[in-house]
Structure 1
Amino acid sequence: MNLFYGGYSMNLFQNVKYGVNCREAAERYGVSINRQGKALCPFHNDRHPSLYVADDHFYCFACGAHGDVIDFAANFFDLPLYEAAQRLAADFGVDANQPPTKEVLEKRRQKAEAQQLMENERLCVSVLSDYARVLRSWKMQYALQSPAEAPDERFEEACHKLDEAEYYLDILAFGDSYERAEVVNYLLVDGRLDKLKEKINGRDAA
């Protein structure tokens, strides 16, 4: 059964979303995207790459533009959503009357999961790198000046946690996919990564 949105068949919207990769569409329309998925945003006067483009969505951290591949084309070409979907279908050879197969849907799901893991890995590496830098600073700044001196909590934390942070960074850099996923899952559970961010921002350093 075909569903309709504003008088238009929803098959077109669904098939374009599943059949057209947002990153590939952006690059085809002239947006240069780096290996981290960042680009200069075409929706405002962007001097530093603030647009993040994934396979199934985009988001600008500066102007707030966001959405799926159809939203991207609509904003890029200043078109209504239906006309944007039509253009994408024509440019990428998508058949509006041919729904995606189970194989296509499963491949898309696996790709989305893999991309989410990559994004989580990048976040963990970024936070852990900053945390390790803070710990190294604490280890030098708050080192004991005499045996009789009571150790500062930050110095103790640096002594206990620096090796662990560097160990996790090594796994994220050189480990296999299973090892990296284990570290990411460990850091994301129970707000561990958020607590590290607080320490980095100084709220937990006093």
Structure 2
Amino acid sequence: MPLSLYQTVKSAITVRQVGEMYGMEPDRHGMVCCPFHSDSDPSMKLNDTYYYCFGCGANGDAIDLTAKLFDLNPRQAAEKLINDFAFAKQCSPQWGLQVTERSCVSKMEGPRPDRLGLDPDKPPANAIALPPPKRGLTDEQWADIAYCLRVLTDYLDLLHDWRERYKPASLEEPLDERFVEALHMTETIEHLTDCVAFGTTQQKADAAARLLSGSYLLMLEERTDRLALAKCA
């Protein structure tokens, strides 16, 4: 399966859209109950390009989430997304996909999971359960990883909002400092988030330890908290 197909699917659909399509109900912070372990309180965060569960460590992109929910391989998951989100016409026949053209998402075959009366705290019947995380890390290390991800994703969400909210309407309009900050910082914060969210458990712990060894993360947390309070005032 050519890489360009994966890129086409992931650029057209966000992880949050995938979650909502298949019955998840994220709160305003993008948090949902994880379908891959027993979860009474939301522990999975749905971002635009990836998801991460602070409880069991499940993570990945839109295709990964679909594959894990329905026990599919990546190609099957991509085909399902193309069908369910009704953009089969945009995908070149050269990929040889088994897709069904639909004029709109509401014409999906079969009811959506959230219309079946499923318990939101339990995984779908055909979901695959992930193995529990290896116990190679201490509780403190897991807490450090979760803390780093929370601070980084909160700031990243803020940058994404600024990039859209404060973009200039014309070339003549002066650039808002928040828009400039978003342009400068988004790629860096995405990289730091990936370092903590992906890889082996030890790699995640090492990345978190490096971040916590300085004052940068604390500065980010204080700044985002201060901005949040100012917004609520």
Shorter-chain TM-score: what band?
A: 0.3 to 0.5
Q: TM-score, normalised by structure 2?
A: 0.43
TM-score by length of 1: 0.48
Structure with greater Cα Rg: 1
Point out the structure with the larger helix share. Answer: 1
